[in-house]
Structures are given as C-alpha cells and as structure tokens.
Amino acid sequence: MKRLLAFVLLAATALLVAPQSTHARIPYQTTYFDSNRSLWMGIQAVYKPFGAYGDHFDEPVDLHIGADDKVYVADKGNSHIFVMNNDGTLIQTIGDEEGAGHLDSPEGVFVTPDGTVYVADSGNQRIAVFSADGSFVREYKKPTSNLLQSEHFVPIKLVVDRRGVMYVAMNASYQGLLRMNKDGEFMGFFGANKAQQTLLNWLKKAVLNKEQLAKENPSLPKPIVNISMDQEGFIYTATAGGFGSAAIRKLNAGGVDSYKGKLFQHSQGIVDVAIDQNGFLYNVDLDFGRINIFDRNGTVLFAFGFTDNNTQQYGVMGFPTSIGIDSKSNIWVSDSRTKTVHKFVRSDFGNDVMNAIVLYGEGKYADSKPYWERVYARNEMFTGTYQGLGKVYLEEKDNAQALSFMKEAYDTKGYSKAFWEIRLEWLQNHFIIFVMVLIAIGLIIKFLPWGIKKLLSRWSLPSVFKRLVADLRNLGYVMIHPYHGFYKLKEARVSLWSILLILAAVIGMKIITVYTTGFLFYPVDLSQINLLRILGQFVLPWITWIIANYLVCSIKDGEGKFREVIQGSTYALAPFLFFSPPIIILSNILTLDESVLIRSLTTVMYIWMAVMFMVMTQVIHNFDFLESLKNIAITLFAIATIWLFGFLVFGLSYNLYDFFYQLYKEVNFYR
Amino acid sequence: MNTELSPSLVKVARMTSVRLKWNRFWTEIRRDSFCYLFLAPFLICFTVFIVVPVIMAATLGFTSYDGFGSLRFIGFDNYIALFTQDIIFLTKALPNTFLFALIVGPGGYILAFLFAWLIHQLPLRVRDYYTLAFYAPSMAGGVALSVVWIAAFSGDRVGYLNNFLLHMGWIDNAIVWLQKPEYLLKVMIVVSLWISFSVGFLAMLAGLQTVNRELYEAGRIDGISNRLQEVFYITLPSMKPQLLFSAVMTIVTTLKAGSISTQLTGLPITPQYAGHLVINHIDDYAFIRFELGYASAISVVLLLVSYFAMRFAYRLFGSKEEL
C-alpha cells in the first residue's frame, strides 16, 4: 500500500515537472462596454503587451512621449530623467550629478515639441529646464506673489503650452494648477476642481451658525493628480475619487471643463490620462487596475490590463504611475513597483475597431464600412459593429438590414429610425387599405357589443355562465364608476370562478405584455426573460397588499371582510386588463418619436389603478377620504415590513438549509 | 315633428314625396318666418363668417394653391401626403400637440376649477379683485408673456430662473431655456398653464355662484362631513353646464395654441421643431411656404380632431338629455 502511494506521488510529480504545452495567451481579459445595455463584455485583445524596459530604473513615476516618439521617464528613485528610443533602448540621461543641474526626486516631466525638457523637481522645490541635448538651462523657483505666501511649492506634474506658460500641479494642492509664464511670474491658479456640494452640506449651511460651521470639516476640492495636454492645446486633468465624476476634465484656455463634470467609468482611482491624435482618452486606474479607453465624448469603450503585486509577466502591471501614447498609438505605462516601463501595441483587431470608431464618430459612415466589416469578420459578438453597420445600412437606405443590426446592438434610437422608414414605406404603399382597415375596426368596435347582445338574447346561456358574464361586465362598470361599483360589489358575492378567471386573465395579459411588447419599448432578449421572476414581482405585491390591507383595516375599524378585500383588489386590476391591449398594439406600431402616446397611456393606466385601489379601500371599509388615505399609507408601511420580514426569514432559513445540506454532503462524501 | 301630418298624405305616391317634403318645408318656414327674422342676423353672420370659410377651407384642402396662381384640384393627395410624407408633422407636430394638449388641457382645467373654488371661498368684498388678478393673464397675454416669462426664462445669468438656480448652486452655467429643444416644450406648457385662466375660469366662477346654497345644508343633514365631499357630491354635479362650457373652451384653446412658441423664442419655427405644434405647422405652410391648399388640409384635420375631442367632452360632462 505504502509503495503504491509512493509510486503515485512520484508519477504525479513527474507529470507536473514535465514541460506543459504553453500558449501565448495574453495575461488579461480585454472587455468592452455595451453602452446600450450597460454591460461589460469580453472581447479579443485590442492592445497586446509588447515589452517592458528599463534595467536602470529605480522608481519611474512619470513619463512623457516627445514629438519624435522618444520616451522621457522621470525616475524619482534615481533622480534622473531617462530618455528612451521608441524601441526601448536608453539613449540619454538628463540630470547632472551635482551643481545646478542636479535633480532631487523629480516627479514630473514634460517635453515641448522642440525638445526642451521641463522637470518638476519636487525635492528641490523648483522646475528645472534642460535643453534637447540634456544640458541645464534654467530653473523656476516659487514665484513671488502675495497669494502664494502660505503655499508650499512642491511641483509634481506639469505641462507647458506653446507660449511657454507652465501649468503646474502641486503636491496635494486643492487650488488647482499654478500658472506661471516664461519669466517665472505667477499668473494665477487655473482649473481648480469643484468642492463637493452635497445636500447635507447645503443643509448644514442653512441650519448651523458660524461657530458651528467653523468646527465642521471644510469640503475642499480634490487635488489634481496628473495633467496632460493634447495637440490642440487643451489641458486634461486627472482627479481621483468621487466615483469617477469629473475624473477627467478637458480645460480650455478659460479653465472651463468641456466634459462638464461627466462621470467617467472605471476612473475612481485614476492615475493619469493620455490623449491620442484622434481625441481618444486612455487612462490608467489603480482601483480597477486596468487601462481604459474612452471616446472623445468620454464614453468608455474598452478596458484591458491587469495589476498584480508581484508580477513577473509582460503586460501585467505592478503599480502604474503614468500613461502615455505615441504617434503610432502604442501605449506606454511607467510602473514603479516592477521598476519598468511597459509598452502595449495595438492589435490588428484594435486598429480596425478604433479606425471604424473614428470614422463613425466623424459621421463618415460609408468610409467606416470596410473597417466594421473586418471587425465583424473577426468578432461577431461586438455590439459596436452592429451599431456601426446598422448606421451604415440606414445611410444606404437598406432599412430592413439596418433594423436587424440595430436590434442586435440594442440600439433603440437607431432601431426607431429604421423602423420609421420601413413603416413610412409601408404606409405609402398601403395607405388606402390602411385607412379602410381603420374604418372597419372602428365600425366593429362600435357594433360588436350590440352584436354580442343580440347573440346572447338569441341563445340564452346556462345560468352559471350568465353569472360569470354579469361579473365580467361589472368589471367595466367598476372601472368607470368606482364608488358605485365597489359599493355594489360590497353587497354582492362574486363567485370564486369569476375571481379566478379575472386573475388568470390578468396574469395572462402580463405574460402577453412581456412577450409581445414591441422591441422599442421593451428592449430585451426574449430568450433571457425570467418569466417566473417577472410574474413574482407582479403577483407578490398584490398578495401582500391584500394581506396588509385586511390586517391594517381590521385593526383600524374597517368593515371589510377578507373576501371583500380579495374581491375588491381583483376588480381594481381592471384598468390593466383594458389598457394593456392598446398599449401592446401601439408599442408594435409606434416609434420613439411618438412614444409620448404610450407613455401617457401607461401613466393613465397606473394612475387609474392607484385610484381604484384607493376607492376600494375607502368603500369596502367604509372610511372617509382622509381616513382611507391614512390607512393606505399604513398599509404600504405594513407591506414594507412584511417584505423585510420575509427576506429575513427566507435568508435565515436558507442559511439553515444550506448548513444541513453541506453537512449531508460532507457525511455522504467521507462515508 | 310629424305629429301634424294628416294620415292621407302618407299614402301619396313615392315619386312626389321629395317635392312634397320640400313644399312642407317651405310652408313651415313661411309659418315661422317671424322667428327666422329674429334669427337672421345671427344666421347670416354665422354663415358668412363661419360656415362659408370652413367649407372653403375644406374644398381648398383638395387643391394645390399658392395664393397667386390658379387652383388645381388634386383630390386626396394633400391628406395622403400629410400622413405618409410629412415627417415634421408626424414626428414633431402631432406628438408635441398631443403631449401639450394632454397636460395643458386637463391641467389648466383643473387649475381653473381649483382657483375658482378657492376664490369663491373668499368674502364677497375682495372676491372681485382676486378674480381680476387671476383673469388678468389671459387679458394681457401677449404683453405679459414678454414682460414676465421671457424675463423669467432668459438665457443669461440675470434671468430669474437661472439666477435662482445659480444662486442655490444647483447649476453651474446659465441654461438657455428658450432655445434648448429639451426645455422649450416644458416651458411652453408652464406658460400655457398660467395663461389658461381664460373664459373657462370665469364661467366656473359664475357656475359656483349658481349652486343652490340650500343643497349644502341638505347635504350636511344627509351626512356630508367635509368640504371635499361637498365639492364632489354637490358642487360639481350642480355646475355641469359650466363645466362643459369651460371644457370645450379649454379644448379649443389648447388645440389652437401655437403662438406661444413663436413669442417665446422669437422665431417662426422653433429650434429643432422642439415646440412645433399643429398650428405652427399650419402657419408654416400657409404663410411661410404659401402652400395654402396643404395648410387647409392640415386645418381640416385639426378641425376633425377638435370635433372628436369635443364629443368626448360632451360624453363626460353633458347630461343625457342634451345629447
């Protein structure tokens, strides 16, 4: 036995030691954001890791890609600026060993198009300027100004515009960027973040007096963590926190944010932002540990990359500190934990996707078509393709094709447009028939009740059915005359079968609503519908309403019996039965332009139902108006408590069940 | 009315029945000529200023006419084009008018009743002043519009609404309320609600005064316990005619509202057709593009719509005998 065990162990080790077949798999999953459904979905790599450089780095904290695609890296640990070629070979080191050109833990670097290097030399509390060949030119100390007396000048990041004006982010400064001209004169602060104005703050301001307010923590604006500049001279600031709202701001010369405080997904822990020549934004985020790509409107497109504490893999970052993008759309990321600079290269797929998005964004739908088709050939799951090609087909007047593509992309706006065109075409061809059918339907509606009455008078139904029909006709009567109707209901004893029939009809109507409402007004995948859950959400409130209403009103001296409450609550559902068919039919005919019709119908339906429930409570329990309002409020509270209780009981009993189930499995396994 | 018919006349052969009816019609008219004399001023005016224009518009709707050239009869083409080709009408004018009428109609109606009722509770001495104050908006409509509402919704920082919102810190930049498509229709609805205290409001106020006060006392004896029940069971049923009148007036005013958008924005066509109502569409085709035939067709459609809306109002408020 022992020998056997040893043998097995040996075999296992041998198996493990033997070289496995390896894959060139990228160590992270690329995802894209399906904005129509607000879902993140997997996709093949848009960017692939290409290499990691820098045996000489100690703590790279900032990088900047020059106009000639050289990579400038500020190394805080080594107190040098390293300049690399685009293939990662070191070509130059900036920063003298001693003297005026000696750097002390530089944290930011910026290179103007002519090659002048500006360094945020935070240890020396200055900005050092070097010429293109690396020789020290001059320094900028803290500018003299009354406004800056209490301020520490510890520059960490900076950009320089065409006129030589420096925009400096200072360590943990909430005042925004310090603006300094070529001569080192203070020109004011620029582009400060907004302080968080919460409702609570506002309330405090209104209620508290001066002394109390002084004791409160002031709500200061968040400091800017990084700055970038695009080719047109717009300044982009990165600000972490606040769940990504205003995480990236695009500031014009006046300091006004053209994204208007937009919420950027995956940017709560933003570290840096980079802009390529097409206006796409690339950020790297510590909270999510990924690199995100946004379009020029700030809508997130892709996310990729991975961070790991002790990484040994290409493409996996340790502690990313800065991101840059060169003219060939390669992404560079400096990483202070692995002491390297990573390079990511766009894949063919990525090139096609991004080109398609650029052309699509510029409205050149026809030009974007070949790119979309190439993307489509590589990935049939990417909804951007469907949206893009749908737009192309819409442009080409191939409406049927556009319709199916828009549906695939869940783009209701595009779908609505395509559908409108198709409907218009149909109407133009069938207008006369359409009008005649409308007239015919009108006549049928007008004469149908009369015909049915006639039929009924000819063949008298068996008495059971007669009662049923009378009950069903009451449904309509109650809906239009709720007070009188419910009063009559209170006296009458509706048969169980009618109640069940009505309830079944309501549930049937709900199922029909779920499955046949037009795509535009219920854009979901029909195969993904969880019917049980939807019905549960529909039926459970009704049942709890009955229970809660009966309990509350019997305590509050209501007269209603339990049967009457059930009866009344069933009849109160009548508007749903009568309003749903037209809503369903309209939802299949109308486009988003006419959605106001459906919305108002639905609103009227719900208001009507609410009124029915209210009148029911009032009449059945014989309350007066205000009393019934009060009792309805209490009933709603009771419903909430019942649900809370239900959740608690369900959760606890599930835990108990789970415990016994696990125990059973355990015992069963080791028997 | 054929109670006066003598039984012998019924037996007359069919051929002559038309002539016979015509004769009888004339005899009746001659007999009642005195009444018709009294009716004549109204009837003539009604025919000349209402019936004839409507019929002319209806016939013009079947033609293509630019106001200068000659009429060209084109049958139903205008109507077919309206419902199949006119994208602006189908996607903007109709939905906008629907939403506008849906909110301003019932909303203005309920508001008018509410304020009429509230004013009715005031002592007699001050009631008239309040009435005047509330009725003033619809008298001074155009002027007040530019003085009050354009100032309130002005797009710069000093506009009342912008100033308030900026002061409270709820917005960062001034909003151009009257040029932004997403706000224009809402602003129009608010303004129209304010203007909608018109004839309907006065009619309701008058109606409230006609309610028999003894009914309230009787109701109290029968067990009415609060004001709301009083309104519901006594006031509303007793002033049904006034309610009907003001409902009809509301329908007409909401459906023919349209000048508000041009007054607010100062443009004949609102930005992106955001506040484009059917009336604006008619104006557009009639007085900007001079396609009078097409414009008439649209107005005929509008007439039909308001007719059906009025039928609905009669259904709701008219008593059975009047139908």
Q: Quick check: is B161 in a domain?
A: yes
CB contact under 8 A, A431 and B92: no
Indicate whether B147 pLDDT > 80: no
CB contact under 8 A, B226 and A626: yes
Q: Quick check: is B211 in a domain?
A: yes
Indicate whether A198 pLDDT > 80: no
What are A134-190's pLDDT values in tens digits?
A: 899 999 998 888 888 777 889 999 999 999 999 999 987 888 899 999 998 999 898
Q: Quick check: is B210 in a domain?
A: yes
pLDDT-derived band at A508 (thresholds 50, 70, 90) equals very high
Specify whether B84 is located in the same domain as B131.
yes
- As a whole number, the mean pLDDT across chain B is 84
What are A601-649's pLDDT values in tens digits?
A: 999 999 999 999 999 988 888 888 888 889 899 999 999 999 999 999 9
CB contact under 8 A, B91 and A594: yes
Residue A609, Cβ density class (10 Å: 0-12 exposed, 13-18 middle, ≥19 buried)? middle
Contact of A197 with chain B, judged by CB distance below 8 Å, is answered with yes
Q: Which residue of B has its CA nearest to A206?
A: B168
Specify whether B117 is located in the same domain as B36.
no
Specify whether B35 is located in the same domain as B103.
no
pLDDT-derived band at A1 (thresholds 50, 70, 90) equals low
Q: Quick check: is B121 in a domain?
A: yes
Q: Judge: domain A347-459, CATH 1.25.40.
A: yes
- Is-contact A395 A20, C-beta < 8 A? no
CB atoms inside a 10 Å sphere around CB A589: 13
Q: Quick check: is B37 in a domain?
A: yes
Specify whether B131 is located in the same domain as B203.
yes
What are B230-245's pLDDT values in tens digits?
A: 888 888 888 888 888 8
pLDDT-derived band at A526 (thresholds 50, 70, 90) equals confident
pLDDT at A461: 67
Indicate whether B323 pLDDT > 50: no
Q: Which residue of B has its CA nearest to A593?
A: B91
Q: Which two tokens stand for residue B134?
A: 């509330």
Nearest to A499 by CA among A535, A474, A480: A474
Specify whether B141 is located in the same domain as B201.
yes
Q: Quick check: is B61 in a domain?
A: no
What are A346-401's pLDDT values in tens digits?
A: 999 999 999 998 998 888 888 888 999 898 888 888 888 888 888 889 888 889 99
Alpha-carbon span B130 to B116, nearest angstrom: 10
CB atoms inside a 10 Å sphere around CB B164: 12
Specify whether B233 is located in the same domain as B142.
yes
Specify whether B138 is located in the same domain as B37.
no
Specify whether B186 is located in the same domain as B111.
yes
Q: Which two tokens stand for residue B81?
A: 């084009």
pTM of the model: 0.75
Q: For residue A158, what is the enclosing H or E element?
A: strand A155-160
Q: In chain B, which residues have their Cβ closer than 8 Å to the Cβ of A593?
A: 90-92, 95
Share of chain A above pLDDT 90, in %: 37
Q: How many contacts does A have with B, using Cβ atoms within 8 A?
A: 42
pLDDT at B296: 93
Q: Where are the domains of chain A?
A: 51-195+215-345, 347-459, 463-658
Indicate whether A76 pLDDT > 80: yes
CB atoms inside a 10 Å sphere around CB A365: 19
Specify whether B47 is located in the same domain as B84.
no
Q: What is the mean pLDDT of residues A113-131?
A: 92
Specify whether B94 is located in the same domain as B44.
no
- Domains held by chain B: number: 2
Kindly tell me the sign of the dihedral angle through the C-alpha atoms of A93, A96, A100, A105.
Answer: positive
Specify the residue for token string 């038309």: B18
In angstroms, the separation between the Cα of residue A614 and the nearest Cα of chain B is 15
Alpha-carbon span A138 to A130, nearest angstrom: 7
pLDDT-derived band at B211 (thresholds 50, 70, 90) equals confident
Query: Which of residues A537 and B225 earns the better pLDDT score?
Result: A537
User: For B322, what's the count of Cα atoms within 13 Å in the CB-facing half-sphere?
Assistant: 11
Most confident of A487-491, A606-610, B84-88: A606-610
CB contact under 8 A, B102 and A600: yes
Share of chain A above pLDDT 70, in %: 96
Q: Which residue of B has its CA nearest to A199?
A: B170
What are B1-48's pLDDT values in tens digits?
A: 445 545 555 554 555 788 999 999 999 988 988 898 999 999 999 999
CB contact under 8 A, A202 and B99: no
pLDDT at A354: 92
Alpha-carbon span A83 to A89, nearest angstrom: 9
Q: Quick check: is B164 in a domain?
A: yes
Q: Which two tokens stand for residue A454?
A: 């006639």
pLDDT at A582: 92
Alpha-carbon span B109 to B94, nearest angstrom: 21
Query: Which of residues B199 and A556 earns the better pLDDT score?
Result: A556
Specify whether B117 is located in the same domain as B248.
yes
pLDDT at B321: 46
Nearest to A135 by CA among A167, A92, A165: A92
Specify whether B186 is located in the same domain as B81.
yes
CATH topology of domain A51-195+215-345: Neuraminidase (2.120.10)
- Which domain, by its residues, includes B12? 7-51
- As a whole number, the mean pLDDT across chain A is 87
